[in-house]
Structure 1
Amino acid sequence: MEEVFVAMKLVFSVAVVGVLSWILYVYGSLWLESQRVRKRIQMQGIKGPPPSFLYGNLSDMQRIQAQAATLAKASISTSKGSDQYVAHDYTATLFPYFEHWRKQYGRLYTYSTGMKQHLYITQPDLVTEMNRFMNLVLGKPTYLTKKLEPMLGNGIMRANGISWSQQRKLVAAEFFMDKVKGMVDLIIESTQPLLLKWEQTIESQGGGKAEIKVDKDLRGLSADVISRVCFGHSYSKGKEVFSKLRSMQKVMFKQSGFIFGLGGLREKLKFWSKKKDEIADLEKEIESLIWDVVENRKRECSEASASEKDLMQLLLEAATNDPSLGKDFSKRFIVDNCKNIYFAGHETTAVSACWCLMFLGLHQEWQSRIRAEVAEHCPNGIPDSESLPLLKTLGMVIQEVLRLYPTAAFVSREAFEDIQIGNLDVPKGVCLWNLIPTLHRDPENWGADVNQFKPERFSEGVSKACKYPQAYVPFGLGPRMCLGKNMAMVELKVVLALIISRFSFTLSPNYRHSPTFRMLVEPEYDVDIIIQKI
């Protein structure tokens, strides 16, 4: 018995030593390294909130977020889509800690999430330098992309270094403007069912006006477009993929502060114990659905000529050209990039279209101007690749909406080596954050009317709209700028031109303005419009 007691005591002692060793490791190898990096940043005159041991500024972020949420509930409950409320700077509600610290420390400050050091940058000159930085040692933050792995795999939106470069080379060519121009007829074809549906809704409600929630319809339209132009099939074949990606997006971003790791340990454990199985099941279902589409496309590809190749066929060829990669890698490469393009190709455009309709519903005079422009340049109100560049007014409206409500909230990068950006020394491992809405609402760059909806500011292009045009980044910045920018702009122009030439509309009094962040900044309660046929 005594021997058993001694053995247990020995095991307990070893366990205690192990725990203490781990604590010393965390303190010595991680915490001290984090503080060394922080000090190196501070030596450049950069300030920031003091971090706590192990948790950094996470508790501060959580406290500030909770206070902002209380204030937001009071204001949102009284809002019914007034222009003054719509034009407000929502970053103080969605990301209040960044605004709180910006007011305290300026446009350049440092903070930490646990052991990770970050630099918040909204100085236009430094953003311009980041735009010019072409080195692969500045990539997507690894801790952040790890969180998004179930949704995006290791496709182009998550990959870094050579892997990202190779994927970009393959995918980018499909979205050059000469190819995008060839997609206009397909976009028009995809939009016709939506126009017909809205006409039928008006008829069913008496033939005068009808109230429509546009979110679901625009997502379906955008999904159909990306399905047709990239994967050679209609939305009907891929709708389950889009639906399940949307479900995963909602599940993953249901936890407050998902991106930054906010919330206590108990809250995180409770969330993941409930949701990890649901996320894993959705991940398997999405991959299985995509692979079914891939297998069908393989059979079709054998009959396609070189001129008919779409993105799906190019992905198949790229994955099979190098037999040394192995079957598992090839499948992973195809599925992951399909997930990326399915999500990014339809979600961002659909959300942008929602915000456009919201602003145009509030500012009907811009509908009239766009309608006249479409009538002048587009036969029968239907645009083509030649008339699209002539729709200047429509382009100005889209650019202004993307300024006020960019779907992407952040540009985030991690330095994989020590780098120099302008006069800023960035140590290895530091993450850089540009808050896009803050850049787009900087009065020193845009003027005192920065929170007003004024498309005319873009009448001479982005270069004349503000002092630092490279700080206008609705599609991101630098070499990792959104590859689908050309397609998104063309699709928005075509869809809005068709809608406005067919209908007039106002924002419904039932619309509740509440931007929310679910990987993208989107309407929480849909966009309701009152629509009538012209």
Structure 2
Amino acid sequence: MEEGFILGCFRVLPTVVLILILCIISVGYFYIWWKPKKLEKYLRRAGVEGNSYKLMYGDMVESKKLTAEAWAKPMPLNHSVAPRVNPFLYQMVQKYGRISLSWHERSPQLLVADPGLVKLIFSERDGHFRKAPLNPLVDLLTLGLSTLEGDQWARRRRLITPAFHLEKIQRMVPAFLTSCSNLVERWNRTLVDSGGRFELDIAPEMQNLSSDVIARAAFGSSFVEAETIFELQKEQAVLVLEAFQSLYFPGFRFLPTKKNRRRYEIDRKIKARLKEMILSKETKAKKGNPDDDLLSLLIQCQKQSDNEMTIDDIMEECKLFYFAGQETTATWLTWTMVVLSMHPNWQEKAREEVIQVFGKRKPDVKALNQLKIVSMILQEVLRLYTPVPTQSRYTLKTTQIGDMEIPAGVKLILPLMLLHHDPEYWGEDVEEFKPERFSEGVSKAAKDDQVAFFPFGWGQRFCLGQNFAMVEAKLALSMILQHFSFDLSPSYTHAPYTVITLQPQYGAPLILHRI
């Protein structure tokens, strides 16, 4: 009886194995070939031109090759940076126009370089779009409000928005000024020791300044106290970028590879430090002595929401703000100083305005709106050197975009930098530094009053930290202009590239002079 059962199993086993193999092949064929090709046919019928699907990797190999070639050498000292920053997207627009199809692994990507459509996508309220799904390893850096969707996003946004109101930001200005004053004092001491002139790399200086501002204004500590978190976040950013650019197989995040172990170790360390800070703030609040920083305001939001936000939620918002707030403003200020070194006439105009408004005293937040030239300069730098050159969305259902019907499961690539460098919307002098474009405000900066400027996004999902970043940038630039003039070092090499945000590949060495 038992022998017969065993023999029966052996006879059936090849059939079971064959069925399993056929199932695996069928599933693989569906996901690796049939589904991508079906989406490609659908998009072709919608009139979309672009690249054909390539098995497994899509256009990743070509994109990496073009990027490596572009980043292997510096560029001339001008503002035509888009071809270097993302050569693949730039070539797609040149070859196929403002709407084109490419592939990331097995997923179709629709490049949308039309400002009207970008505005429509950013402003959509019917739930047809969401943030594009990411490699799960990328989530270690980008959780928080930026990745929530639907009702969950709406509730969280409503809860934390009051913490970013301008009047709340203005109450943090003393912390901003402390950070800027410390920078000015340190540079002044160095200038005294070096005879009134010295060279330094502005990029790490602005990173440290922005880190100190975030630490003081958002978390009630100094850069020295928060340095561990910043360093860990910086390392995590490199690891996340590597994961994003690599082929991802389901379940890979669970493999105990060396880099995976480090990614999760960094995440644990950051969360542990943030939890300490949160518990300390809660203790102070219970004693009737709450702080007036952003973290304390978030904790208040949590309490007022009947604990709808958990401590883990607050930690994710902190991680996001640590990275997004620090990184984008630091790169913005870095490129502003580089550009003003390239255009000393505008540097002098900005300095004259700052001296006229504030003299040599510390800037007053109430008078920041009087800085028209400084504002124009900052906006033009945002246009030319967009801190986050590309954003993306994802279609949840079949959606009408302009004249095209786009199926579910398509990633929409919104190349903000390409839009900011498009002569159709900015004129033939698009690559020139002309702050006067913004003399009548952002809405009238582009040709024919077209909206083609999206550095902080658009619509209901515009960046909540916009006011924070603008106040910080104006205060920092004003205090630097009050005390120093600066020009490019002979060792400066012009090479913008992206590591999450737009950065100078070889640093930004400038020569500082005391005024």
Same fold (TM over 0.5): yes
Shift in alpha-carbon separation, 1:471–1:505, aligned structure 2, 3 A: same
The CA deviation string for residues 225-276 of structure 1, in whole angstroms up to 9 with x for no partner, is 22222223332322211111011112332x3xx535469x9xx99x993311
Structure 1, 275-284 or 311-320: larger mean CA deviation? 311-320
Q: How does 1:447-458 map to 2 (within 5 A)?
A: 447-458=427-438
Q: Contact 2:160–2:301 at 8 Å: present in 1 too?
A: no
Equivalent residue number for residue 357 of structure 1 = 337
Q: Contact 2:108–2:411 at 8 Å: present in 1 too?
A: yes
Cα deviation, residue 9, structure 1 = 8.4
1-structure distance, mates of 2:419, 2:314: 35
1-structure distance, mates of 2:23, 2:99: 37
Equivalent residue number for residue 128 of structure 1 = 119
Equivalent residue number for residue 496 of structure 1 = 477
2-structure distance, mates of 1:5, 1:496: 83
Residue identity matched to 1:297:
K
Cα deviation, residue 69, structure 1 = 2.5
Equivalent residue number for residue 483 of structure 1 = 464
Shift in alpha-carbon separation, 1:165–1:261, aligned structure 2, 3 A: farther
Q: Contact 2:40–2:53 at 8 Å: present in 1 too?
A: no
Look up the SS of the partner of 1:506 in the other structure: strand
Equivalent residue number for residue 109 of structure 1 = 100
Residue identity matched to 1:19:
I
Cα deviation, residue 29, structure 1 = 5.9
Look up the SS of the partner of 2:101 in the other structure: strand
Q: How does 1:63-78 map to 2 (within 5 A)?
A: 63-70=62-69, 72-73=71-72, 75-76=73-74
Q: Contact 1:319–1:333 at 8 Å: present in 2 too?
A: no
Structure 1, 497-506 or 313-322: larger mean CA deviation? 313-322
Equivalent residue number for residue 145 of structure 2 = 156
Among residues 35, 38, 41, which one is paired with 2:40 in the alignment?
38
2-structure distance, mates of 1:303, 1:494: 33
Q: Kindly report the root-mean-square deviation, in angstroms, between the aligned alpha carbons of the 2 structures.
A: 2.8
Shift in alpha-carbon separation, 1:272–1:353, aligned structure 2, 3 A: farther
Equivalent residue number for residue 334 of structure 1 = 314
Equivalent residue number for residue 27 of structure 2 = 25
The CA deviation string for residues 93-133 of structure 1, in whole angstroms up to 9 with x for no partner, is 34222222222211001222233222100112212322432
Q: Contact 1:445–1:466 at 8 Å: present in 2 too?
A: yes
**1:532 is aligned to 2:513:** yes
Equivalent residue number for residue 281 of structure 1 = 265
Q: Contact 1:65–1:95 at 8 Å: present in 2 too?
A: no
2-structure distance, mates of 1:319, 1:461: 36
Q: How does 1:160-239 map to 2 (within 5 A)?
A: 160-205=149-194, 207-239=195-227
Structure 1, 225-234 or 473-482: larger mean CA deviation? 225-234
1-structure distance, mates of 2:342, 2:256: 41
Q: Contact 1:250–1:518 at 8 Å: present in 2 too?
A: yes
2-structure distance, mates of 1:403, 1:9: 70
Q: Contact 1:202–1:208 at 8 Å: present in 2 too?
A: yes
Equivalent residue number for residue 281 of structure 2 = 297
Equivalent residue number for residue 363 of structure 2 = 383
1-structure distance, mates of 2:141, 2:281: 22
Shift in alpha-carbon separation, 1:521–1:6, aligned structure 2, 3 A: farther
Residue identity over aligned pairs, in percent, reads 29
Q: Contact 2:105–2:247 at 8 Å: present in 1 too?
A: no
Cα deviation, residue 446, structure 1 = 0.5
Q: Contact 1:222–1:350 at 8 Å: present in 2 too?
A: yes
Residue identity matched to 1:347:
E
Look up the SS of the partner of 1:217 in the other structure: helix
Among residues 420, 423, 435, which one is paired with 1:440 in the alignment?
420
Q: Contact 1:69–1:93 at 8 Å: present in 2 too?
A: no
2-structure distance, mates of 1:491, 1:324: 31
Q: Contact 2:163–2:298 at 8 Å: present in 1 too?
A: no
Cα deviation, residue 463, structure 1 = 2.4
Look up the SS of the partner of 1:417 in the other structure: coil
Residue identity matched to 1:302:
K
Look up the SS of the partner of 2:109 in the other structure: strand
1-structure distance, mates of 2:56, 2:69: 28
1-structure distance, mates of 2:317, 2:214: 13
Q: Contact 1:381–1:497 at 8 Å: present in 2 too?
A: no
Shift in alpha-carbon separation, 1:527–1:12, aligned structure 2, 3 A: farther
Q: Contact 1:34–1:116 at 8 Å: present in 2 too?
A: yes
Residue identity matched to 2:203:
D
The CA deviation string for residues 199-241 of structure 1, in whole angstroms up to 9 with x for no partner, is 1111222x22001112222222212222222223332322211
Shift in alpha-carbon separation, 1:8–1:333, aligned structure 2, 3 A: farther
1-structure distance, mates of 2:272, 2:292: 23
**1:315 is aligned to 2:307:** no
1-structure distance, mates of 2:95, 2:133: 29
Look up the SS of the partner of 1:453 in the other structure: coil
The CA deviation string for residues 463-490 of structure 1, in whole angstroms up to 9 with x for no partner, is 2221254220111222221111111111
Equivalent residue number for residue 88 of structure 1 = 80
Residue identity matched to 1:159:
L
2-structure distance, mates of 1:339, 1:295: 16
Equivalent residue number for residue 343 of structure 1 = 323
Shift in alpha-carbon separation, 1:320–1:354, aligned structure 2, 3 A: same
Equivalent residue number for residue 491 of structure 2 = 510
Q: Contact 1:408–1:519 at 8 Å: present in 2 too?
A: yes
Cα deviation, residue 167, structure 1 = 1.8
Cα deviation, residue 441, structure 1 = 0.4
Look up the SS of the partner of 2:84 in the other structure: helix
Shift in alpha-carbon separation, 1:208–1:514, aligned structure 2, 3 A: same
Residue identity matched to 2:190:
T
Q: Contact 1:411–1:477 at 8 Å: present in 2 too?
A: no
Residue identity matched to 1:298:
E
Residue identity matched to 1:421:
I
Shift in alpha-carbon separation, 1:128–1:316, aligned structure 2, 3 A: closer
Structure 1, 284-293 or 459-468: larger mean CA deviation? 459-468
Look up the SS of the partner of 2:366 in the other structure: coil
Residue identity matched to 1:377:
V
Residue identity matched to 1:70:
E
Structure 1, 412-421 or 481-490: larger mean CA deviation? 412-421
Q: Contact 1:171–1:311 at 8 Å: present in 2 too?
A: no
Residue identity matched to 2:213:
V
Q: Contact 1:374–1:381 at 8 Å: present in 2 too?
A: no
Residue identity matched to 1:387:
A
Cα deviation, residue 290, structure 1 = 0.8
Gaps of 5+ in 2: none
